[in-house]
Amino acid sequence: MLIKDSTGDWEGFQQVLEARAAKPSARVLQGMDELALRSIVAGADGVLTGLTNLAPDLYARLVKSAQAGDMEEAQILQSRIESVCELFKEGFWVECLKYAVSCLGIESGHLCGRPHTLSAESKDRIRQIVETLVR
């Protein structure tokens, strides 16, 4: 069994982790970027968010650092994740994510059912955020 919680409700997520005691083989993933480190420290098995499509290595390093007890490195990585989250301030989150992934040269398909609303300025800001990931 796999449970992914993207509600952002920390208390509810803690209850899911506690309930897992009845089913130890169950895996619990956090779906909110801002709660990634906190969730791993609390016992989550991993993190799966939209941004894991953009920066999978960043998230893998965060999980490994936290699980190894290297909290200094884990906090640095969590801060980087939160910086990358700034791209979502530029518009509808799916459109921002798809544009960010395209900045890496990865075709992410078209956004269905919504008009494209990212301005040239928003695209520039997203591109700048993505560039910080590849440095």
CATH code where residue 28 lies? 3.20.20.70
pLDDT, tens digit, 9 for 90 and up, residues 74-129: 999 999 999 999 999 999 999 999 999 999 998 877 777 777 789 999 999 999 99
- Using the predicted structure, report yes or no on whether residue 135 has a pLDDT greater than 70: no
**Half-sphere exposure (Cβ direction) of 126: Cα atoms closer than 13 Å:** 26
> What b-and-e string marks burial along 43-79, b requiring 16 or more CB atoms within 10 Å of the CB?
ebbbbbbbbbbbbeebbebbbebbeeeeeeebeebbe
Burial class, 94, CB count within 10 angstroms (exposed 0-12 / middle 13-18 / buried 19+): middle
User: Domain total for the chain?
Assistant: 1
Range of the domain at 53: 2-134
pLDDT at 67: 95
| Residue 49 amino acid letter | T
Note the pTM of the prediction, 2 decimals.
Answer: 0.89
What lies within 8 Å, CB to CB, of 96 at 6+ separation is: 87, 88, 90, 118, 122, 126
- The confidence band for 19, taking pLDDT boundaries of 50, 70 and 90, is very high
pLDDT at 110: 72
pLDDT at 115: 72
Alpha-carbon span 32 to 6, nearest angstrom: 5
